[in-house]
Amino acid sequence: MTTEALFARDVRKTYTSRRAPPVEALAGVSMVVHPGERVALLGRNGAGKTTFLKIASTLLRPSGGTVEIFGHDVGSRPDDVRPLIAVVPQEGKPFFHLTPREQVFTYLRARGYDGRSARARTEDALGQMGLQEVADRLSITLSGGQRQRTMVATVIATEAPVLFLDEPTIGMDPFARRAVWESLRTLTKRGSTILLTTHYLDEAEALSQRLYIIERGRVLVDGTAATLKQELGGTLRVSIRGGGRLEAQAKEFGSVLLDDGTLHVITTPERLAELIGLAVREHLTTTVGPVTLEEAFLRVVGRSIDVEE
């Protein structure tokens, strides 16, 4: 028995079908999420993020391994786990024929909140998600982003001890995404624990205190965005278009990656001028920017997060 918000050990999942060969979606995932943490699962499409989230949220039977939520095993004690969790499903939509206000309120009532408490929480969540102006319009008339915000509002209103959010900000504009981030930060300050999947690297970086990178059903990295970037050996990314021929020389300045004809060099500010001088002498176009999680992801996985499995 553990007091961790989430404790997963060697979780495996193989999808079997009579018509197709078995697909191994999870090949032994282990992770720990401490109470009050915000943790991101990062990975390309098909990496196994949603499969893990579904298992952890009692919606999918694993082929092996265990997941515990605050010490309750999701496999053998799902009824003990369910009151502790709330889930924003991937591509979930609110009832088209309910308004956002009705959606949030009725969901809270179905979870057992009394009317007064549900009403107060509903108004608070709608406010956080900026949905007051459309709160009484049927969801069928709302934009995709507004519907997604309704889903997030529905779940954050619960303030459940553990929240699972599968691509929570998909389809949202930048302002709405930031509103979601802010709400999630507030929730963890109040004690909730959040595990979210995303393939927006900026979201993972801005929101998560820790992250797991998953690739082909395996955890490749467990760390923070900062440590992952530090491991790259520099704080600046210099991209030299058509710089393939400089690869050997560039290695002296830091780690290099050749992607689609462009040479990316991770280096330090101290060596920047020298590296740019090298590129200028070869009459090559150079751009400089801060190292982001994207470079770290590329280094760890070997492919961009946008490349499909």
Partner 1 sequence: MALTHSRLFRGTVAFSLTELRVQLHESTAVVTSLIVQVVLLLFVFILARDLLPVALFGAIVFSMFGLGQRVQNEAAFVRIDHKLNELYMAGPLAPEAYFLGMSLGVLGGYIAPVAVLVGVTLYVVGISATTALVLLFGTSLVWLFASSFGYIVSTLFRDMRTIWPYASIFYNLFGVLPPVFYPLGFWPASLTPVALVLPPSAATALVQSTIGWATLSPGEVALAVGSLLVEGIGVFLFAIYWARRTVREN
Residue 52 as a binder of partner 1 (CB under 8 A): the answer is no
Name the one range near partner 1 by CB under 8 A: 19-27, 75-83, 185-193, 227-235. 75-83
Residue with tokens 């470079």: 295
Cα distance between residue 54 and residue 62, in whole Å = 9
Cα distance between residue 30 and residue 12, in whole Å = 10
Nearest residue (CB) to partner 1, 75 versus 127: 75
DSSP helix/strand/coil, 255: strand
Residue 110 as a binder of partner 1 (CB under 8 A): the answer is yes
Residue 59 as a binder of partner 1 (CB under 8 A): the answer is yes
What DSSP string runs through 97-145?
Answer: TS-HHHHHHHHHHHTT--HHHHHHHHHHHHHHTT-GGGTTS-GGGS-HH
Distances (CA, A) of 282 to 74, 139, 237, 275, 278: 60, 57, 19, 11, 7
Provide the mask over 130-149, with x wherever binding to partner 1 is found by CB under 8 A and - wherever it is not. Answer: --------x-----------
| The one among 2, 23, 61, 224 contacting partner 1 by CB under 8 A | 61
Shortest reach from residue 10's CB to partner 1, in Å? 19
Nearest residue (CB) to partner 1, 83 versus 277: 83
Residue 100 as a binder of partner 1 (CB under 8 A): the answer is no
Burial class (CB in 10 A: 0-12, 13-18, 19+), 287: exposed
* Pairing outcome for strands 162-166 and 85-88: parallel
| The one among 3, 45, 117, 285 contacting partner 1 by CB under 8 A | 117
Residue 96 as a binder of partner 1 (CB under 8 A): the answer is yes
Residue 258 as a binder of partner 1 (CB under 8 A): the answer is no
Residue 174 as a binder of partner 1 (CB under 8 A): the answer is no
67, 26 contact by CB (below 8 A): no
196, 164 contact by CB (below 8 A): yes
Nearest residue (CB) to partner 1, 161 versus 233: 161
Name the one range near partner 1 by CB under 8 A: 22-30, 104-112, 167-175, 283-291. 104-112
Nearest residue (CB) to partner 1, 79 versus 260: 79
Cα distance between residue 144 and residue 167, in whole Å = 14
User: Count of residues binding partner 1 (CB under 8 A)?
Assistant: 41
Cα distance between residue 135 and residue 69, in whole Å = 33
User: Nearest Cα to 168, choosing from 124, 212, 207, 126?
Assistant: 207
Residue 180 as a binder of partner 1 (CB under 8 A): the answer is no
Nearest residue (CB) to partner 1, 98 versus 220: 98
Cα distance between residue 149 and residue 258, in whole Å = 39
| The one among 34, 65, 77, 106 contacting partner 1 by CB under 8 A | 106
Residue 89 as a binder of partner 1 (CB under 8 A): the answer is yes
Q: Which residues here bind partner 1, judged by CB under 8 A?
A: 54, 57-61, 78-79, 82-83, 85-98, 102, 106-107, 109-114, 117, 138, 151, 154-155, 158, 160, 164
